[in-house]
Structure 1
Amino acid sequence: MTAFEEMGVMPEIGKAVEEMDWSLPTDVQAEAIPMILGGGDVLMAAETGSGKTGAFCLPILQIVHETLITQREGKSTKAPKGKSGGSSSKWKMNMFDRGDAMAIDPDGVLCQARDPQGWHGTRSNKSVAGQGRYYYEATVTDEGLCRVGWSTDRATLDLGTCKFGYGFGGTGKKSNGKQFDSYGEPFGMNDTIGCFLDLDRGEIRWSKNGIDLGKGYDLPKHILQDQFFAAVVLKNAEMQFNFGDKPFKYPPQAGYTALCKAASTCVVESRILAASAVNAKPAPNAPQAIIIEPSRELAEQTLTQLQKFKKHVKNPEVRELLIIGGVSAKEQVDCLERGVDIVCGTPGRLEDLISTGKLALHQIRFFVLDECDGLLSQGYGDLINRLHQQIPKVTNDGKRLQMIVCSATLHSFDVKKMAERLMHFPTWIDLKGADAVPETVHHVVCMVDPKKDTRWKTMQTYIQTDGVHAKDRINTESNSPETLSEAVKILKGEYCIRALEEHKMDKALIFCRTKLDCDNLEVYLNQMGVGKYSCVCLHGDRKPAERKANLQKFKDGKVRFLICTDVAARGIDVRGLPYVINVTLPDEKQNYIHRIGRVGRAERMGLAVSLVSSVKEKVWYHSNCSNRGRGCYNTRLTDEGGCCIWYNEPQLKNDVEEHLDITIDHVEPDLKVPINEFDGKVVYGQRKKASGSAYHGHVQFLAPTVAELAQLEKRAQSSFIDMKFKKKFATR
């Protein structure tokens, strides 16, 4: 039995993992996998490359596969003792007699349907027949459309649309046999509806918050011979039921009995029990798991891992789908119509398909937010809240929705607040702790000062900048803020070349702040030498096929440099990367760690160089731009209705240092990086050497001090023994 199998992972998945030469689980997997398999919410943080993707993909794949087997064989999950099912001693809603999007909590008293497109109903696990007057209450606990009342075992689950069901809806209409008539008044959030059944007189009536709304229906004699169930139908709504086990909010008038106190001679168990129920065929466009990633590359990377893990998981096969922007939506919709089980995608396209009803959420049992801090910093907090509201909190087989959140750090305020709001007593797995720079990463800052380095005055003609100063008067003899800002843009291109040359960089990630900056630097490097600085770009304006191809070219060594925005800073795994250059510091201080964390992995040494302007730089900032920067030439500042701001890199550097509680080493404009004497000779991209001449010299330097400490320790112990014996003889 493998280590993964001991944790509960099925042998077929374990075999696939072994074939990937991944025989042992990482720490984060060892903690997360059993928790997820056990049904718990999980928050996890660990270094990139620590196995977080496997930690959630493996158990999700297994549980989805087991659910598909159950559905294929026409079986329902067995009801635990005392839980949902017709044979329970308690009155509750019957999880085996419900629509495919109707969720019922394990106690059987909270019903929820999150499908905004259709109605879904359920009935109680018991019924009353023959005689008596009965009552129960239903309270609206979330906004949506509700219809509640009574139905016989011959009625459809869509209450009020056949002649055997009688409902009262939130619009203030009663219904039977698709006949909707005005009755009482509308009801909504927090309103409590009392449902009355009088088998002695053959009447049905309702109340709202204790106010009797009058007789609703006279029951025909042939209907009175049937059994009557408590029934409800919901559309993107939620109701809480009370059959009398707890005190009623509005006790009924004399003569009416709570359903739970009905005489046993009048109670009939539902014929739809756990042993005989057949699950409704799930909707093909309603997956069981949705994994949201902040970038296309991460979504593709996660989907690839799922495909590798499921290699031996057959009969039935788990169907996965990648949903990202920039590719044909029709192909994705066609796949949804054929049926999917796990969806992995980016927020924009997911939101489009969900809002148009092409992708349904009512069967989701796993809601995964990968790189959650990145999603929140990109402004997707409201989208996450909306999606969470639309997903049922209880799955079709009575299990609670599981939410899994992966984050670079669990110390992020935004992530903590989101977890408190949306997650259910999550297990925190924090193997990363507060942000810190690994010992294998050597990171330095080079200040770019256009007042001291004036070579920019002769370089303007062949370096393309971002155009924010197109309408400004730039004068090489002036030290105006606009002139110095343009000068910095010119110098940074030259400093980037200097860093490549000084350290003979044969492979590096180069981060720029904007997509336009990436494009301009790509052109500049190619101009400086055909093939000498072979490079490609990775950012949101490049087509998905090009982005995928460019990343692969860089991984395969077909080009030396990958120029990218922060889209590549999170989760993208490029093995053996020795160098990173930050042409501009990131807007978010946390992204500094993500960027420089691309090097120094697998105990290999890495160098990260950041070029920091000593003066404020005017840059594009399209936060309020209707076109999100596409074709925008509004170079005014944002407080003047434009799309530019002044960027203060010295302050950003201070923020990073304060966040990490360090002082970043500075280097001169020649970009020469001194080697720490204790490290010895460092070769970036290779493992850190444990010994060497410098290390040997360090030991020799410490040797006299260590010898002196040893002598002091010997004296201290001798003195203690002498004192002990003197005390012993003194007491005789």
Structure 2
Amino acid sequence: MSFSTLGLAREVQQAVEAMGYENPTPIQSQAIPLVLAGRDVLGAAQTGTGKTAAFTLPILTRLAQFANTSVSPAKHPVRALILTPTRELADQVGENVKTYSQFMPLRSHIVFGGVDIKEQIPALRAGVEVLIATPGRLLDHVQQKSVNLSQVEILVLDEADRMLDMGFILDIKKIISMLPKRQQTLLFSATFSPEIKKLSNEFLNDPALVEVARQNATNDNVEQLLHPCETHRKPALLAHLIRTHRMGQVIVFNRTKIGADQVARELKRGGFNCEAIHGDREQRARLETLQRFKEGTLQILVATDVAARGLDISELPYVVNFELPNNPEDYVHRIGRTGRAGAKGVAISLVDPGEDKAYALIQKLIKKELPLTPVPGYSPGTTPVQPERPNRGERRHPEERRDTTEARAAAPRQSRPRGNDIDVPLPTKPLPSLPKRPQQIAALFLPPKHPVSK
């Protein structure tokens, strides 16, 4: 199946071709015809499988009949409303809408908190057909009477699971009460929880179910590595892994804003090119940091779960869980930042003994066993890998000593790696095996009765 067979508007099809896309992803091939037919849709797919285009393309096609070049705001009422949980996701969706509507005179705009509301009002009052917004800021505009929702025909709840987690349910209900009674509602989420299905029963009318992956499944393209490590050793292990894996670009996830700042400071002290983003940072600074990371001029992005939602980088090779998330579904979201669009990715998690419950819940959720692999010198019960050296008591022939001295003199001098000098050889010795059962994690952190042999 190709995009040309889905019945998209000519201008939308032209934009798709300009982006170099030929074949839709499974979520797109199933959802687009349903949205075009006017059905309510409850859609779920793994992160990075094209959910945004699955609703953006058919929405623009349905609105193509209203496209016009008039300067009158009355000719450009809000006809499609897309709600997102975070500013970053709103920005990502807004970029998609602009890209796919580049050949048609439809207006779109993004509104979210963290910036002066007065700067957003002129564009709204000039008229927009597609409005992308976070719930709280949208309600601010409704109160300011800078937006009219009386002609909304299509409502999208994107990343609905996250909106529920963030406590937006009351805001969502208030917004829906302001909309016309007969509108099409699309609910998209990376996971299907009982709460999501309850929400769909309340707001969707006979929805078509589109689910292209097992519930809460992880991407098979993502290699998952988990290393046991005590919390106070995690910064050193993280720096070691960045060097040994030669990570050119990586997102490091933390549970808290304070933790994200602390990790960023530790990495900066080591000479790494690193920045932290979270809800306490000024919005303009967050957007600038995200842009640098997308462009590849920033090597390491330390982020909380909320701040990283909506970050879409097609070829991000690495993700690191500095701490396991309290909510196991967030683990699926985190590692879904890599291995996108068919690419390979690596997700690394550093597991402290106090995280044994979170570790067990993650394995239960994804229905997959995740063995722990120690890192010599950083994981408990291991010793650093040392190069082979002759015993001091051994005497070597004078000719052998002379050969060694001459070889050292002829070899180029190598400086000790510092900071983000990542040209460090990987350990060559095999790693000892560890018990895989979650309840045995704590035992890994007890002092070994005998030193681990090299």
Aligned to 1:590: 329
Letter in 2 for 1:392: P
Aligned to 2:347: 608
Shift in alpha-carbon separation, 1:25–1:439, aligned structure 2, 3 A: closer
Does residue 403 of the first structure (1) align with residue 185 of the second (2)?
A: yes
Shift of 1:603: 4.1
Aligned to 1:655: 361
Choose which of 109, 118, 130 in structure 2 pairs with 1:342. 130
- Retained in 2: the 8 A contact 1:284–1:337? no
Show CA shifts across 1:231-261 (max 9, x none).
Answer: xxxxxxxxxxxxxxxxxxxxxxxxxxxxxxx
Map 1:607-626 → 2, pairs under 5 A: 607-615=346-354
Letter in 2 for 1:343: L
* SS, match of residue 17 in structure 2: helix
Aligned to 2:96: 305
Does residue 666 of the first structure (1) align with residue 372 of the second (2)?
A: yes
CA distance in 1, matches of 2:341, 2:61: 29
Does residue 413 of the first structure (1) align with residue 184 of the second (2)?
A: no
* SS, match of residue 58 in structure 1: helix
Aligned to 2:452: none
Aligned to 1:272: none
Show CA shifts across 1:120-157 (max 9, x none).
Answer: xxxxxxxxxxxxxxxxxxxxxxxxxxxxxxxxxxxxxx
* SS, match of residue 666 in structure 1: coil
Letter in 2 for 1:516: I
Map 1:288-367 → 2, pairs under 5 A: 288-313=79-104, 317-367=105-155
Map 1:207-606 → 2, pairs under 5 A: 286-313=77-104, 317-394=105-182, 401-410=183-192, 412-449=193-230, 488=231, 490-529=232-271, 533-606=272-345
Letter in 1 for 2:65: E
CA distance in 1, matches of 2:121, 2:298: 36
After the TM superposition, list the runs of 4 or more consecutive aligned residues in structure 1 that deviate by more than 6 angstroms. Answer: none
Shift in alpha-carbon separation, 1:661–1:27, aligned structure 2, 3 A: closer
Q: Which runs of 5+ in 1 are unaligned?
A: 73-280, 395-400, 450-487, 616-648, 673-732
* SS, match of residue 344 in structure 1: strand
Shift of 1:667: 1.8
Shift in alpha-carbon separation, 1:504–1:20, aligned structure 2, 3 A: closer
Map 1:131-150 → 2, pairs under 5 A: none
Show CA shifts across 1:535-563 (max 9, x none).
Answer: 12222222232222212222222121111
* SS, match of residue 372 in structure 2: strand
Aligned to 1:94: none
Shift of 1:348: 2.2
Shift in alpha-carbon separation, 1:318–1:386, aligned structure 2, 3 A: same
Q: Which runs of 5+ in 2 are unaligned?
A: 380-454
Greater helix content? 2
Shift of 1:435: 1.7
CA distance in 1, matches of 2:216, 2:127: 41
CA distance in 2, matches of 1:503, 1:429: 37
CA distance in 2, matches of 1:339, 1:347: 19
* SS, match of residue 409 in structure 1: coil
Shift in alpha-carbon separation, 1:52–1:437, aligned structure 2, 3 A: closer
Shift of 1:284: 7.5
Give the greater-gyration-radius structure (CA). Answer: 1
CA distance in 2, matches of 1:330, 1:571: 25
- Retained in 2: the 8 A contact 1:7–1:30? yes
Shift in alpha-carbon separation, 1:601–1:56, aligned structure 2, 3 A: closer
Show CA shifts across 1:468-505 (max 9, x none).
Answer: xxxxxxxxxxxxxxxxxxxx3x3322232232233232
- Retained in 2: the 8 A contact 1:287–1:360? yes
Shift of 1:3: 4.3
Shift in alpha-carbon separation, 1:34–1:606, aligned structure 2, 3 A: closer
Shift of 1:291: 0.5
CA distance in 2, matches of 1:324, 1:570: 14
- Retained in 1: the 8 A contact 2:49–2:341? no
- Retained in 2: the 8 A contact 1:284–1:338? no
- Retained in 1: the 8 A contact 2:250–2:301? yes
CA distance in 2, matches of 1:37, 1:605: 33
- Retained in 2: the 8 A contact 1:569–1:591? no
CA distance in 2, matches of 1:307, 1:604: 25
Aligned to 1:30: 29
CA distance in 2, matches of 1:284, 1:349: 24
Greater strand content? 1
Aligned to 1:54: 53
CA distance in 1, matches of 2:44, 2:375: 37
Shift in alpha-carbon separation, 1:342–1:605, aligned structure 2, 3 A: closer
